[in-house]
Structure 1
Amino acid sequence: MARKPWMPRIARWHIWLGWVVGIPILMWMVTGLFMVARPIEEVRGTHLRKELPEEPLVLPGSQLASADMEMKEMRAIMQDGRPVAILTAMDGTVMRVDMASGAPIPAIDAAAARRITEQRIEGGERVESVRLFAADEVPFDFRREMPVWQVTLDGGVHVYIGRDTGEIEAVRTRWWRAFDFMWGLHILDPQTREDTSHPLLIALAALGTIGALLGCVLMFRRRKAKVAAP
């Protein structure tokens, strides 16, 4: 029984597939090269902002932001049915204050972290572990310098609750961590997963653009028909 000519058939499929995806691939390469050509800070205009000395927040007549408290910002929210001010000092420390009485609210403990998770997260009652991380030891899937409670739920969900804010700062699922890993590979920065403009990425994006362009050009090359031998 004669063997099926798979290679010529695959070659024909490849040609037709090239016509379908060639232009989109070239478009992705060109736009990708454009987007990585400059650091994201320059794209956002961050480099144009002048470095000015920070001024403390002062509210005349307020005990929460008086001149001697050296406050950087104040955020007012509702927690447990009461108005709460989250105060950030000029040195970066954070504290909560009851806005009605002015009394400081202590940092949350493990039991409070569990309760917040149960109240605000679907499936939050299925807690596997609760662990406190210092600001300089946070897990890689959080990547923010602040003390947080990590509440691990069934299914690999990590809920991060600020120790000093009492707020859910992030929710990380297994899918998020897989996405984050793929993002690191996509931008060729698997360590920090934040640098979207570096020489290796720019060089490979340029080579990919050239390759895609040449591929599109070759699709228009006329091939001579092969004449079967008699």
Structure 2
Amino acid sequence: MASITQVRRWHRLLAPLIGIQVLLWSISGAYMVLTDIDDIHGDHLVAEPLLPIDHAQVRLTFDGVKADYPGAMHIRLKQTPQGPVYFFKDGGIARAIDAKTGELLTPPDEASIRARAKLVYTSDDPIVKVSLYEEQAPAEMSPRLLPLYRVDFDASLSPSLYFSASTGELVGKRYDGWRLFDFLWMLHIMDYLERDNIHNNLLRIASLLALLLALTGVLLAWRSLKPAPEHEKPETKA
């Protein structure tokens, strides 16, 4: 069994090795539990009008969509200002077809994306920039959503809305509060590339080291509460 001297040595070795990461876990964890996740998601930035589906206009059924697009997944019927539309993924590509005619809708242009952004954005801040991403997504968005339009507004905390360049659907809301959360999440899970893998080996190793640090600390605290054996007591001078 390890002596208390060995436990103390291990604790002193582990403290600088993993202590900074433990501090980062504490700071990032505190931010996560003290903030409103709906605010972090940027729900306050948009208010999409919820239109009831006009079933009288729907001519194409779900089965019809599957027949025309056998690889279609996540099929959704949604009412838009232009009428009912089916949205789905086909071979990883976002598609939108008119539920009245079954025709594939033309991808939106920048003007229609600007109009869509102004419609759903909850403030009257002006649009300062519209960017199209076709080959490489911004770091804050998944490449699986490409192609994308990004609409930046002139406002505090730099809000941005993302729309599918294939269907015109709103697919993301970002602002500096979300970006700070994402940075802290990266530090928390120790995935510095994709920022979404909570099963990476670096996190596993750090967790084991932190556990050892905690256990050795508990042993030292428990030992400090016990009276020291006679042979370990410091000598007193007469």
> Shared topology, TM-score over 0.5?
yes
Distance 1:124 1:112 in 2: 17
Q: Which residue of 2 aligns with 1:99?
A: 99
Could you tell me whether the CA contact under 8 Å between 2:107 and 2:165 is conserved in 1?
yes
Could you tell me whether the CA contact under 8 Å between 1:87 and 1:95 is conserved in 2?
yes
Q: Which residue of 2 aligns with 1:80?
A: 81
Could you tell me whether the CA contact under 8 Å between 1:117 and 1:124 is conserved in 2?
no
Could you tell me whether the CA contact under 8 Å between 2:132 and 2:148 is conserved in 1?
yes
Establish whether residue 193 from structure 1 lines up as the match of residue 192 from structure 2.
Answer: no
- CA 1:179–1:161 in 2, change beyond 3 Å: closer, same or farther? same
**3-state SS of 1:179 partner:** helix
Q: Aligned residues: percent identity?
A: 23
Query: What is the one-letter code of the residue matched to 2:119?
Result: Q
Please list every run of 5 or more consecutive structure 1 residues that lacks an aligned counterpart in the other structure: 1-24, 30-57
Which structure dedicates a bigger proportion of its chain to helix?
A: 2
RMSD of Structure 2 on Structure 1 (CA):
3.1
Quote how far apart the aligned CAs of 1:163 are.
Answer: 1.2
Query: What is the one-letter code of the residue matched to 2:83?
Result: R
Q: Give CA-to-partner distance per residue, 1:44-80, whole Å, 9 cap, x none.
A: xxxxxxxxxxxxxx966x3x4435x444233211111
Distance 2:214 2:124 in 1: 48
1:121-160 alignment runs, 5 A limit: 121-123=121-123, 125-134=125-134, 136-145=135-144, 146-153=146-153, 154-155=155-156, 156-160=158-162
Q: Give CA-to-partner distance per residue, 1:133-186, whole Å, 9 cap, x none.
A: 11x311010123221100011231121001112211010111111111111111
Distance 1:150 1:165 in 2: 14
- CA 1:108–1:183 in 2, change beyond 3 Å: closer, same or farther? same
- CA 1:210–1:87 in 2, change beyond 3 Å: closer, same or farther? closer
Could you tell me whether the CA contact under 8 Å between 2:113 and 2:149 is conserved in 1?
yes
Which structure would you say has the larger RCO, counting Cα contacts within 8 Å and 6 or more residues apart?
A: 2
1:24-173 alignment runs, 5 A limit: 62=64, 64-66=65-67, 69-73=69-73, 74-80=75-81, 82-89=83-90, 91-123=91-123, 125-134=125-134, 136-145=135-144, 146-153=146-153, 154-155=155-156, 156-173=158-175
- CA 1:124–1:152 in 2, change beyond 3 Å: closer, same or farther? farther
- Bigger shift: residues 178-187 or 210-219: 210-219
Distance 1:124 1:168 in 2: 18
Query: What is the one-letter code of the residue matched to 2:140?
Result: D
Which of these residues, 201, 206, 209, is aligned with residue 208 of structure 2? 206
Which of these residues, 212, 218, 221, is aligned with residue 219 of structure 1? 221
Distance 2:193 2:66 in 1: 40
The alignment covers a number of residue pairs equal to 171
Please list every run of 5 or more consecutive structure 2 residues that lacks an aligned counterpart in the other structure: 1-21, 27-60
* TM-score normalized by the length of structure 2: 0.61
Could you tell me whether the CA contact under 8 Å between 2:161 and 2:172 is conserved in 1?
yes
Q: Which residue of 2 aligns with 1:45?
A: none
- Bigger shift: residues 208-217 or 174-183: 208-217
- CA 1:125–1:82 in 2, change beyond 3 Å: closer, same or farther? farther
